[in-house]
A and B are shown apart, each in its own frame.
Chain A
Amino acid sequence: MHSTARTRRVLAATAASAAVILALGACSSGGGAAGAATTAHGPITIWYSNNATEIAWGKQMVTAWNADHPNETVTAQEIPAGKSSEEVIGAAITAGNAPCLVYNTAPVAVPQFQKQGGLVNLSSFSDGDSYIKARSGDTAAQYESTDGKFYQMPWKSNPVMIFYNKDMFAKAGLDPEHPKLATYDEFLTASRALVSSGAAANAIYPSPTSEFYQSWFDFYPLYAAETGGKQLVEDGKATFTGDEGAKVAEFWKTMYTEGLANKELYQGDSFADGKAAMSIVGPWAVPVYKDKVNWGAVPVPTSAGTSADKTYTFSDAKNVGMYTACKNQGTAWDVLKFSTSEAQDGQLLSLTGQMPIRSDLTTTYPDYFAANPAYVAFGDQAARTVEVPNVSNSVEVWQTFRDAYSKSVIFGQGDISSTLGGAADKINTLVSSK
């Protein structure tokens, strides 16, 4: 009797395990064809970012579209709350409930979303490539995937520059209207004056933490400028082990070693809170700092002092992705073109101050830049931006770089050359693997 009960339990457990394993096997086998719906039309859903100005832009765009397309209505919502948009989108892809379009797709996440089978190949639309290249010009090339196709629509950038606090500069005896910040030496001199005079607790306070994306706001903009527009990885190889990378790393190391930049995590916005005299941010910050800081903006420094009209920087772009869960991809493509049209890009510029990724930005909207001189430098800078490389294991690549940078530059442990060299080797392997 006892043995019969035990046998029954064993059989039940085996059956249950087999069911689970079979279910897992089914999961792992992939499934059927993606089911191309590129010509289907009908209602679609979209997500947009949850900051106030982009919500305003999104709402007016949807209203404008829906007014003329009663049978292809767009239902829009803010991207669901989560630690980051990328995690929310990644989960939605896996669950199969991603919306048709997400107006907050980070370029760094595109290779991963592509690998997951979550993104629609925009080049598969008959006018896909031509539309993207006509709108974005040469910049579009940075957003091509390794197979030469577009899985993201280059949408808007926030070219980062050095914001500085004019009042703190004046207090430190520096010229607030023409600050000398073009070269590393000038930047260091100004930083030392700011801190030693007591005008600022920190000259600049980029986040010293280890998240993979933090290098976009300390190392990468300066690296883009120093190299005249080189990406972290090019032709499948890490590029930062050369002289330019070493100069940028040494510059930041000096900032940390001399206590001009802070190694501690700061909860909040150090620039807005008056804890730092400078910050590396994009034009989104203009309305944020408008009533808090008497600010000015200059391009990021280089070792030799590149002129502003030749200085590159990090783009901090957000693009639009079309997701394979979308049933009516024909409508989604039409909405995508409508929302990136000249008129809607103009709305984006005026409502958010962020730069549409257009080759003709400043000449298309001269009235806007004339009326908003604070954005002129950003509009000009938008023509010279460097994106994150569109490579396999993109996020892991950045985490690998950040860990090495954190160790050798921020915390000054080990030799910069060998530490970054080790990271470069690992990155080369990551980029070459699927």
Chain B
Amino acid sequence: MGRNPIGLLLSAPYLVFVIAVFAYPLIFAVYMAFHDYFFAAPGAQVDRPFVGLDNFQEVLSDPAVIRSFGNVGIFLLINVPLTVVLSLVLATALNKAVRGRTFLRVAYYVPYVTASVAVVGVWLFLFSGGGLVNQVLGPLAPDPSWLISPTWAMPTIALFVTWKQLGFYILLYLAALQSVSTELYEAASTDGAGAIRKFFSVTIPGVRPATVLVLLLSTVTGANLFTEPYLLTGGGGPNGASTSPVLLMYQKGIEQGNPDTASAIGIILVIGVLIIAFIQRKVAGGDES
């Protein structure tokens, strides 16, 4: 780059973008997490002393924060496997469908591109106490109902997010399926493999890089869960059963004016996601790609 200034010139916009949008906020967040920090007017005389690990200690001793991480853990345990399995199965089916393939792809993709605010009304219509699901279930319906049940609130949200985002992951798998060699399927057929055998022995290994990507993306987006619990349960109800760490970050950082503790939660969340992503990469074999 130093030997070729034009390279620096061409890469400068992207470097500026990365520094401004990613690096600076990240470093700033770390800085805030280690200080008694709050936002102030320019020129205001304020004291923001270094507090070491106090903010981390505060959030880690807060039952609401611990619970929010537990909540997002439940969410990920439901959402991520469901996303991988459903999107792969549906993508495989769509890849083979001859009639109505375009329509079905669009149908799955529509919830993803529709704003959560818009589709959440549909979900409330389905899962409210007097909603369609409970009417179908009759006496089997949970009491209290789905979104106000401490047991069912988070799984219901996980289901909603899975449904909403499925279209995007189906498209990823559809793209990956194009690169799986047809000769492999033909060879498997020659060896007498049936559809299920071919799915497990050819399709799944063939789309492994995509699976790693889906795992990673669904984990990252799941860890950033905010809009859905906010809209579906009105700010983390019932009794904090659907509060996510990002929702708490919003409450503490923006509503309550404590960006320092919010940053501490954010850093813990980032570290958690990195650990999960590392494990996923090891387990799913992303290195082989």
Chain A positions within 8 Å of B, measured between CB atoms, are: 8, 16-17, 20-21, 24, 28, 30-35, 86-87, 90, 93-96, 98, 112, 115-118, 207-212, 262-265, 267, 324-325, 393, 395-396, 399, 403, 406-407, 410-411, 413
Contacts and interface: CB of A to CB of B under 8 A. Distances in A.
Nearest to A396: B256
Nearest to B46: A30
Tell me which of A87, A325, A395 has the highest count of chain B C-beta atoms within 10 A of its own C-beta: A395
A410 B28 CA distance: 39
Contact of B238 (A20, A96, A98, A263): A263
A265 B40 CA distance: 35
Interface in B185-210: none
B43 A33 contact: yes
Interface stretch (B142-150, B156-164, B212-220): B142-150
B28 to A, nearest CB: 6
A35 B42 CA distance: 11
Contact of B239 (A98, A262, A407): A407
Contacts of B128: 264
Interface stretch (B73-81, B92-100, B227-235): B227-235
B47 interface: yes
Contact of A267 (B37, B44, B47, B121): B121
A92 to B, nearest CB: 9
Given A30-B46, A31-B44, 9 more contacts: A28-B37, A31-B43, A93-B39, A96-B41, A116-B44, A118-B40, A207-B234, A406-B237, A411-B150
B233 to A, nearest CB: 6
B222 to A, nearest CB: 21
Max chain A Cβ within 10 angstroms of own Cβ: one of B124, B251, B255: B255
A210 B145 contact: no
B257 A30 contact: no
Interface in B39-68: 39-48, 64
Nearest to A393: B256
B254 interface: yes
Given A87-B254, A210-B240, A30 B45 contact: yes
Contacts of B106: none
Given A24-B27, A28-B48, A406 B238 contact: yes
Interface in B223-277: 232-240, 243, 251-252, 254-258
26 contacts: A17-B27, A21-B27, A30-B46, A30-B47, A31-B44, A31-B45, A32-B43, A34-B44, A96-B43, A116-B41, A117-B43, A207-B234, A208-B237, A210-B237, A212-B251, A212-B255, A263-B238, A264-B148, A265-B233, A265-B234, A396-B256, A403-B64, A406-B238, A406-B240, A410-B239, A411-B148
* Interface size range of chain B in the complex: 35 or more
Contact of A20 (B27, B47, B48): B27
A314 to B, nearest CB: 19
A410 B240 CA distance: 12
A116 B39 contact: yes
B278 interface: no
B286 interface: no
Contacts, number: 141
Interface of B: 2, 19, 23-24, 27-28, 31, 35, 37-48, 64, 121, 124, 128-129, 144-145, 147-148, 150, 232-240, 243, 251-252, 254-258
A34 B41 CA distance: 9
Given A17-B27, A28-B48, A93 B257 contact: no
Nearest to A213: B255
B39 to A, nearest CB: 4
A20 B148 CA distance: 45
A212 to B, nearest CB: 7
B31 A115 contact: no
B59 to A, nearest CB: 13
A324 to B, nearest CB: 5
A401 to B, nearest CB: 13
Contact of A324 (B41, B145, B238, B255): B41
A211 B41 contact: no
Contacts of B258: 396
Nearest to B145: A264
Contact of B39 (A16, A90, A98, A403): A90
B234 A93 contact: no
B43 A395 contact: no
Contacts of A265: 124, 147, 232-234, 237
A208 B237 CA distance: 9
Given A20-B24, A211-B235, A34 B254 contact: no
A96 B39 CA distance: 11
A30 B43 CA distance: 6
Contact of A30 (B35, B44, B233): B44
A208 B243 CA distance: 15
A87 B251 CA distance: 11
A71 B40 CA distance: 31
A95 B258 CA distance: 17
A222 to B, nearest CB: 21
A411 B37 CA distance: 35
